[in-house]
Chain A
Amino acid sequence: MADALSAATNAAANAAVTAVDTATSAISSATANAAAAQGGAEALSAATSLPPTGVGLVLARISWFIVVPGVYIALGFGLAAIVVRLVKIFRSPPPPWQLAIYPEVSHPRQAALRDAFGMGQIRKQAPLFWIMLVIFHLGLLGIFLGHLDILPEISIVSESSRDMLGAGVFGLMVTIPIFYFIGRRFRSPVREVSTPGDYILLLLLLFTFLFGDLMSWGNSWTAQGFVMTKADFAQYFDGLLKFKFEDPRTYLHGTHYHFLVIHVLLAEAVLVTLPFTKVIHAFLSVPANILRRRTWNRK
Chain B
Amino acid sequence: MLNYPANIYRQAMVILDSSSRLPDISVPPYAQTRQILSATGSMDDVMPGTETLILRTTFSSVPVIWESELRQQEYQELGAALSEMTKLEEGDEWKIDPPVYNAACYVAAGLMAHSFPAPRIFNHGTKSVVFNWSYGADNMYLTISADHISALISSPERIKRRVEYSVNELTDPSVALLSIRAAYLKKPVKRLVTGAVSDPTEFVG
The answer to whether A and B interact is: no
A-side interface residues toward B, CB under 8 Å?
none
B-side interface residues toward A, CB under 8 Å?
none
